[in-house]
């Protein structure tokens, strides 16, 4: 599923980052920021009325992503740690 479809506060893991074209700078920037396969991710907050941005936590860092950027990130739901 795309990150934009993940319910708020539901843990997941990054599966892939979709490149729009070869050498895609936005996809590369997401990877540089830590959005890499296997990393735990969670949506912390959403803008009202389904707008931008999404507040995303990956590791111990929070990022505000536009929906168009978040839609490039494919995630797999994760089982919470106890």
pLDDT at 82 over 80: no
Q: Is residue 65 part of a domain?
A: no
pTM: 0.87
Number of domains in the chain: 1
Domain with 16 in it: 3-57+73-77
Q: Is residue 8 part of a domain?
A: yes
Q: Is residue 66 part of a domain?
A: no
Q: Is residue 68 part of a domain?
A: no
**Spatial separation of the C-alpha atoms in residues 69 and 66, rounded to whole Å:** 5
CATH number at 12 reads 2.30.30.90
SS3 36: coil
Specify whether the CB–CB gap between 56 and 65 falls below 8 A: yes
Q: Is residue 50 part of a domain?
A: yes
Q: Is residue 31 part of a domain?
A: yes
Residues 1-42 have pLDDT tens digits of 999 999 999 999 999 999 999 989 999 999 999 999 999 999
pLDDT at res. 3: 95
């Amino acid at each position: 599923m795309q990150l934009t479809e993940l319910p708020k506060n539901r843990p997941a893991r990054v599966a892939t980052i979709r490149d729009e074209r070869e050498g895609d700078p936005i996809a590369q920037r997401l990877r540089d920021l830590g959005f890499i396969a296997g990393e735990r991710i969670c949506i912390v907050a959403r803008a009202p009325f389904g707008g931008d941005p999404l507040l995303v936590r990956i590791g111990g860092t929070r990022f505000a992503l536009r929906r168009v950027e978040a839609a490039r990130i494919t995630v797999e739901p994760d089982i919470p740690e106890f």
